[in-house]
Amino acid sequence: MPGFVCVTCGVEHPESTTPPAHCVICEDERQFVGWEGQAWTTLDAMRGRYRNRFDSMEPGLTRIGTEPTFGIGQHAFLVESPEGNVLWDCITLLDLETIAQVQERGGLRAIAISHPHYYSSMVEWSRAFNDVPIYVHAADRQWVVRPDPAIVFWEGETQVLANGLTLIRGGGHFEGGAMLHWAAGADGRGVLLPGDIIQVVHDRGWVSFMYSYVNLIPLPAKAVQRVARSVARFPFERIYSPWTGRVVMADGSAVVRRSAERYLKALDS
C-alpha cells in the first residue's frame, strides 16, 4: 500500500488503500488547503516526474532541492561531519539517484527536522539509510502524522547530534521549532540552519520571524525574544535559509540580534 503524500505541503501520511480525508498540517492556520481542495499523490507517482538537485554551498554543506518545485518548495541540507552526516530538514522526493548521491557523500548518521511543515517523507528517508534516527522536538509530537520507531522525540532546549552539531529549540513558528548550529561551518566561524524559525528575508542583511508566513500572521514579542535568546550563545557567521538565494553571508549573530530589535520596535509602534 502507498503512503499518500499531501500535494500542498508534501508530507507523507501512513500507508493506506485510499487517501486520507484530511491533512491536519494544511488545515492548521499556519498553512492552507490547496485552492482546488485537498489533493494527494504518492512517491511512486512522483518518481520520473521530478528530480533532486544537489548544490554545494560550502565545504561540508550540500543543499538538496526538488525540480520542478513540489509542495512548499523548501530545500534540505546535508551537513558532513567526521562522526557521520546529518540531513537537516527534509524534502518529499526520494529516489535511487538521490540515495546514491547521499551515499557518495558518506551516507547519513541522523535526520533532524525543524518543524512539521518539513516532515515530508522523513520516514522513507530513514528507512533508505538503515533506519537512522529522526530527531523531532517532543513539543511537536502531535503533528507527526506518520509515526515510526525511528523518530526520537527530544526534549529540552538543546540536543547534541555530534561534535559541533547542536539542535536548538527556538519555538516561535511552532512550539517545538528547532534550528541546527554547525560550529565548523563558515571556516570555523559557525553556521546556523534555522528552517523557518528564523527566516532570511529578501534584504539579506536581515531576518524575520512569523507565526504563519503564507497567511502573514506575526509572532508576539515574547516569542520573538525567545527565538533570539535561544541562539544568542551560539556564534555563527552565516545563516542558510531553506529558500534559494536567501543566505546571510556575514555577521549572522548580529543580524539576528538587530532584526529582533527591529521587529520588537515595529510591534510597539
pLDDT number for residue 269: 75
pLDDT number for residue 239: 98
Q: Is 211 exposed, middle or buried (0-12, 13-18, 19+ CB in 10 A)?
A: middle
The pTM score is 0.97
pLDDT number for residue 1: 75
Nearest to 111 by CA among 142, 78, 72, 159: 78
pLDDT number for residue 17: 94
Mean pLDDT of successive 10-residue stretches along the chain, which has 269 residues: 93 95 96 94 97 98 98 97 97 98 98 98 98 98 97 98 97 97 98 97 96 96 98 98 96 98 93
Instruction: Tell me the CATH number of domain 3-268, given options 3.30.230.10, 3.60.15.10, 3.40.50.300, 1.10.240.10.
Output: 3.60.15.10
Integer Cα distance of 51 and 262 in angstroms: 39
pLDDT number for residue 2: 82
For the beta sheet containing 178-182, the strands, ordered from the edge strand earlier in sequence to the opposite edge, are: 158-162, 165-169, 178-182, 191-193, 238-240, 247-248
